[in-house]
Amino acid sequence: MSQNQIPALADLVSGARIVALPLRTKFRGLEEREVLLFEGPNGWAEWSPFVEYPDEEAAVWLAAAIDFAHGNLPTLYRDRIAVNATLPAVAPEHIERVLSNFGEFATVKIKVAEAGQNIGDDIARIRRVLELYPDSKIRLDANGGFEISEAVDLINQLKSLGINIEYFEQPVASIAEMAELKLQVNRLGIKIAADESVRKVSDPLAVAQANAADILILKAAPLGGIVRALEIAAEAELPVVVSSALDSSVGLSMGAYLAAAIPNLDFDCGLATSALLAGDVTREPLRAENGFIDVRRVEVDKSKLEIFSAQDHRQDWWLERLERVYKLL
């Protein structure tokens, strides 16, 4: 994106709308998701780095949002994207209620390694999903929460139960640990996917160069936008899964465009997470139907912006953050 495509700060600030969207189930420790929205020539875009992220990291997300609203759009290879359901680290008795919001699906990504829980809790959650949805493919996501020994223990216990998983996403924190774990579990037929090791490091290609993953998880916003994410995918030469960061439908739209621009997309993508929201910014949310979401821009509804408008002190916080971060572009 060229400098002349970056809008003036005053225009971004004057057009910014900040909302707090309630979640159906606590996810990532959150009960609501704050996002900042603005409109450009291409349509609406979302800027929503999590509140604990430093300004330097948030600037990458802002570049992505500006590019989606103002930049050139990529060539698209498909007009709909196959998506997975996402299950937070809930107790087994809540699983059916949570997953019912996703409609039909072929794949479930199950969160494991939740603080305050243990491997027994994870296994109980996985087994209950398979009891309810026996034909579903299962993938796990630990968000880097395990030690190597814990990840191996979980895999071995699942193997002993005859449970196969499609892949294990970010089981451990560091790239070195990922590489060591991958050597152990590839022998068991388990693939390792990298998420934080792609989007939270200075060099997103380091995980591929270290042979630390079989699959890359790509999220458009943390990687600086669609164009940069496509460059990483091409350079890494690994299969990719496009995922979201608990976005509104506007943010999911950017993910859908990224997924549509990848020539070979072999896995269901993590872009159905609007089902985790109890409110959204549009009357036509980007929700999965028959296991797919459409690739389209999302029209923001002004009444929804009013209904979910963030409290005044949160509005001030986001606008001050926007002014600081803009200077880093």
CA dihedral sign of residues 310, 314, 316, 320: negative
- Is 135 assigned to a binding site? no
Position 1 scores a pLDDT of: 56
**Are residues 3 and 23 in contact, defined by beta-carbon separation less than 8 angstroms?**
no
**pLDDT digit string (tens) for 279-291?**
999 999 999 999 9
CATH of the domain at 49: 3.30.390.10
Q: How confident is the model at residue 90 (pLDDT cuts 50, 70, 90)?
A: very high
111 counts as catalytic? yes
Q: Does residue 308 share a domain with residue 225?
A: no
Q: The whole model's pTM is what? A: 0.96
Q: Which of 111, 182, 191, 304 is catalytic?
A: 111
Q: Which domain holds residue 44?
A: 3-73+303-326
Q: Does residue 86 share a domain with residue 180?
A: yes
Position 27 scores a pLDDT of: 84
**Are residues 119 and 110 in contact, defined by beta-carbon separation less than 8 angstroms?**
no
302 counts as catalytic? no
Q: How many domains does the chain have?
A: 2
In total, the chain counts a number of residues equal to: 329
The identity of residue 282, as a single letter, is T
Place of tokens 């959650």: 125
- Is 169 assigned to a binding site? yes
Q: Does residue 200 share a domain with residue 58?
A: no
Position 28 scores a pLDDT of: 80
Q: Which of 109, 182, 219, 304 is catalytic?
A: 219
Q: Does residue 294 share a domain with residue 199?
A: yes
Measure CA of the first residue to CA of the last residue in the chain; give whole Å: 11
pLDDT of 5 above 80: no
- Is 195 assigned to a binding site? yes
